Amino acid sequence: MTKLEIYKYGEQILRKKTEPVTEINDKIKKLVSDMFETMYGAPGVGLAAPQVGVSLRICVIDVHPDGKNSPLAMINPEIIEGENKVLAEEGCLSFPGMYEKVKRFEKVTAEFTNLEGGRTKIKAEGFLAKAVQHEIDHLDGKLFIDYLPDFKRKSVEKEIKRKKKAGAW
């Protein structure tokens, strides 16, 4: 396994819609295992392929239910159902040190292809539901700051600009 570089906000690839995976081969399996290593090493609870510079529809998640590892790799995922919007704080490995309140579904059902090539459904709620929505957004070039009110998003962008100037981004 290899720890990959995590792309920060400002990189064009984070805004690109990803391509679906057409075949789960050794290259894809290696990428998924590298993504897990990168996510655990960050540390973080979710990572999408564009964040490591690969524009493919793949994300990995582990929100450690009951304090244990519970790795979830999703290939070509889609949200197929959502209910009840809630406001909760979240962050992103492409926005180190920044946390903002975002409104998302409290419960979601997602469909994805697993590493064995089968199509699977997952029902998620709470923290896991938030992570699933956040990571699938990445695959469509959407970032959590897109949900913020204008003034807030502008202040986040301003802070990032300041950090860039100081060489801290």
Q: Judged by CB under 5 A, which stretch of 21-29, 92-100, 111-119, 149-157 contacts Co ion?
A: 92-100
Q: How far is the CB of 157 from Co ion (least distance, A)?
A: 16
**Which residue's beta carbon is nearest to the bound Co ion?**
92
CB closer to Co ion out of 24 and 52: 52
Q: Distances from the Cα of 106 to the Cαs of 49, 66, 88, 131, 147, in angstroms?
A: 24, 19, 10, 11, 16
4 makes contact with Co ion (CB under 5 A): no
6 makes contact with Co ion (CB under 5 A): no
Least Cα distance to 108 among 91, 122, 90 occurs for 122
Of the candidates 6, 14, 92, 110, which one interacts with Co ion according to CB under 5 A? 92
Q: How far is the CB of 52 from Co ion (least distance, A)?
A: 12
DSSP of 117-152, one letter per residue? S-EEEEEEEHHHHHHHHHHHHHHTT--GGGGS-HHH
Tell me if 61 sits within 8 A of 45, measured CB to CB. yes
Q: How far is the CB of 92 from Co ion (least distance, A)?
A: 3
Q: Judged by CB under 5 A, which stretch of 37-45, 64-72, 85-93, 149-157 contacts Co ion?
A: 85-93
Q: How far is the CB of 26 from Co ion (least distance, A)?
A: 26
* Count of CA atoms in the C-beta half-sphere (13 A) of 2: 8
CB closer to Co ion out of 119 and 146: 146
CB closer to Co ion out of 44 and 113: 44
58 makes contact with Co ion (CB under 5 A): no
Catalytic residues: 135
Residue 96 burial (CB count, 10 A):
15
Strand order in the sheet with 72-90: 46-48, 58-61, 72-90, 100-113, 119-125
Tell me if 35 sits within 8 A of 4, measured CB to CB. yes
Residues that bind Co ion (CB under 5 A): 92
